[in-house]
Structure 1
């Protein structure tokens, strides 16, 4: 049974052993973002070289209608749309975790080397022909995250040291990627370049399914650890006073964030700036003191799906990577954040 109580202008709930504060503004923003996500998600499945009406898409999802339309929707457009939705959700949540743990709005997987590590190993697989699958990206991202954490550890880890070490690891991985690109054949280099920018083109179920599993596992973990995340935002000393196991909380939350970012990168490529800007947009929309995790994820999904629809309208025949639009939109936001600090 859920019990609601209003005291001092705030509404709280209690359900069994769980309790919390009801934030109407955050709920309203979340519902609006859910609609904003669904609009490009549904619209994206209707456009392409073979236009299909919304009713035709719905029928095709259930296996009805023309066989050609069923194949296009179920095997081509639905994996693409789900890859964008789930990758945005994972990137946004990972960015919120990184920025809250480090207490720095510039901390995100694409800044601290996680995405660069995934990219380096995937490009190596393409160049030397030992594979280019999802698991190479996952291994590269987790490996880079582990290196950053170990090198930044000094009886604990601090935000500024974690970011500085991450920037160094990102630069190293980017240099490796650039070197590999010079050694690759023309076809391999083109294939790698399309992936490096971040693209939803030609997504398959084999690329989407691991990301779905990662979100099913990591999202409940992140939600359960939410109280620790909010306490860490107050500072390590205050968090210790509140009974938070700071070192274990840092490790668990960063591992969760790294896993979300690496699986998203493996599915959609290192889509630029989504993990950086989504938490900041969500924080300002909700008026919270920290980036709200689920709202950040919905913001990330809205950014990627909207960017994908824009790329398909700007140059429909060129199959423009979605990372081109997110990079063009994210760079001014990054400059704005830098000038504010």
Structure 2
């Protein structure tokens, strides 16, 4: 509709306001995690685009359940982890393909974008692009464990009795990569995966004398590292950076074999009604300055290229020390887990725990 803007000062002001809005403003119903859509970012987006945002906070299990219940309806943009897309899509059809021509791919760290596209492709269609990410790797007291460069170095005599890690699948996966094996490549071959896990099992049993304790919670591990009882561990990047704020000798180190990475994505629910607003939100929040605002709220970095430039100076320094570009490109991103593998892993973990 063409407006007649010559009637009054009020009309001119109204016309100016309306002309600044998109051709058709929409309400974006966003299904996301806490901290991923902070109020200041939402306000900035609404002011700049004219779209409105309704935020529903959730988690992976709830997202899948909500979208299953409606056949992919009720929301216009969701943020499941990348390993929660291909399987649910094949089984329930709850997403629709992403039109990559509407995504400003220059805003993304290339290796993360390509990895996420690969892990969320069903048939020939891409169903997810990356947003928030994090990793597990090594958290070390570098003044006492500088020789630890990879997961298997936790078995070194130099740190005997002062090592900790969880008896969980990330430990199995990390040790496998450090042993020159590729567990993700064996996901489609149960016999090959069993053989890899048997080698990891033997290594972890051999390594048991080095372990002070198998930690169960983040607070427990932080206490062990702060006290000096543990000087080398497997843990998350954000935990290592938190410890570094108190003790500059303790920090997160990306292992030589590659940190193990998770990614929360952008995915389009199958019956979403506001695609224009969804694509606008994705491209908006991936701008480096805006992405840094989300990092400040969520505590994790995004897949936005160059966003670390705008992060808090201390966090930026820790991030860059832990993740030079080659370490970013070497992250091993978790793909969807095929049925049957968790049972294999559970058996390995039980036998390691029971071994003398």
Say whether the fold is shared (TM-score over 0.5). no
More helix by share: 1
Q: Which has the larger radius of gyration?
A: 2
TM-score of the superposed pair, with normalisation by structure 2: 0.24
TM-score of the superposed pair, with normalisation by structure 1: 0.25
